[in-house]
Chain A
Amino acid sequence: MKRTILLWISLALMVTALYLIFVIAPIERTMGIVQKIFYLMVPMGWLALLSFLVVFIGSILYLKKRSLRWDILSYSSAEVGVIFTTLALVTGSIWAKPAWGVWWTWEPRLTATLVLWLIYLTYFMVRSFATEESRGATFAAIVGIIGFIDIPIIVLATTLWRGLHPGALIFQGGLDPTMLLTLIISLLTFSTLYALILMQRISLKNNEVEIKRMKELSQPFN
């Protein structure tokens, strides 16, 4: 019931957001129509961080309480997060080509997003490297905690590194009020989408765990 309501809300928000992005929002002066990717890229970057925050909280709670539901939360959020991080990198790349002429540039935000993506990757790899499931969950929780604490420092270092050569400013001066509204609606839309997909994934994972448990119970003498 909750999920259906959320589905309709997010559908409505998405339609509104798309309308705002493509019809209402003004075309930016210097970059033209390509700048509109910004309304997709910023929410995805935001979600990449939000997902990792949820992974961080879930990881701490898992280590403290040892209850599987926290690990399921962390894992699901990491899955959704890595997808959004990949999309953030892809949209960033698509924007970079017409805007700056190259597919990739070691610009602070892109670089930090890339390192975040790598940390997500290690989150999943450490699970598969572990000898048993519960060990894998513990190790992934450790990576989740260390990785999240590292992110502000990574952003600081990459900004200092490249900030000396300001090659990539998103917009000179402030944001037009219409653009700001579009951005906020877009952020809201994607956050709702995140919540929806997360709930879906958690429920799926719960089913997976349940099926596995039933399989093990039905083969008692293995």
Chain B
Amino acid sequence: MKFWHQVISITWKDTFSEIRTREVISSVLVFTLLVIVIFNFAFGANQETLRLVAPGILWVTFTFTGVLSLNRAFIPEKEQGCLEGLMACPISREAIYVGKMLASLLFMLIIEAIALPVFAFLFNLPILTLPMVTITILATIGFVAVGTLFSALAINTRAREMVLPILFLPVMVPVIISAVNASKMALSGKPWSELASWIQIIGVFDIIFLVVSCLIFTYAIEE
């Protein structure tokens, strides 16, 4: 019980500071919308092409969004000296990881919850279906599982903001491939059975990397 107490207090700390400052959600949200619009200019010659590229656009957008919001998970902590305070607390490192991960997950889900209807509106596609929502939630869990670990790693390096995407993107390749293909099928209205294998890949990825990242996290963050 104590573990979850610690986790909730860290998640609440991040959420509360976000409610106060609205830094992450507003800037990342605007960025997301801009990226969707620019992709439309890049690819959207006609409705047919849009239908083909829409899943790709959606997931590239969410990947960029993920990188931005995950950078915000630890970098401000380091800059304000908060990280040392956090590590000096009688909290286990795993609790810090889970707390930070849940906070990033919450932020990303809020941004996606706003971005998906905008996407449906601009691209005229049936986004708000149960398969799409499931894919989005599972893939986002994958993003934050690995991203929180690499974000903590990135703060102790020189080129902070660049390190996260460089480390993160090759590892996320299977999640992106699976999310795009599953989305493509979901948008064409295919049944669950065809989506199953893709969703299984994302699910397996999530479970494995949640556990592994939690175990390794203490090495990433120590001085």
Contact = CB atoms under 8 A, between A and B. Distances in A.
Interface in A172-198: none
Contact of A63 (B177, B205, B219): B219
Nearest to B152: A142
Given A122-B167, A142-B216, A142-B219, A129 B204 contact: no
Contacts of B204: 153
B216 A146 contact: yes
Nearest to A60: B216
B149 A156 contact: no
Residue of A119, A158, A160 with most partner-chain B CB within 10 A: A160
B153 to A, nearest CB: 5
A157 B156 contact: no
Contacts of A3: none
Residue of B158, B166, B171 with most partner-chain A CB within 10 A: B171
A119 B220 contact: no
Question: What class of interface size applies to chain A in its complex with B?
Answer: 20 to 34
B178 A157 contact: yes
A97 interface: no
A138 interface: yes
Given A125-B166, A126-B153, 12 more contacts: A122-B167, A141-B219, A142-B153, A142-B219, A145-B212, A146-B149, A147-B170, A149-B208, A150-B209, A154-B174, A156-B201, A160-B178
Closest 5 CB pairs of A and B: A157-B174, A129-B157, A118-B170, A153-B174, A157-B177
Interface of A: 63, 115, 118-119, 122, 125-126, 129-131, 135, 138-139, 141-143, 145-147, 149-150, 153-154, 156-158, 160-161
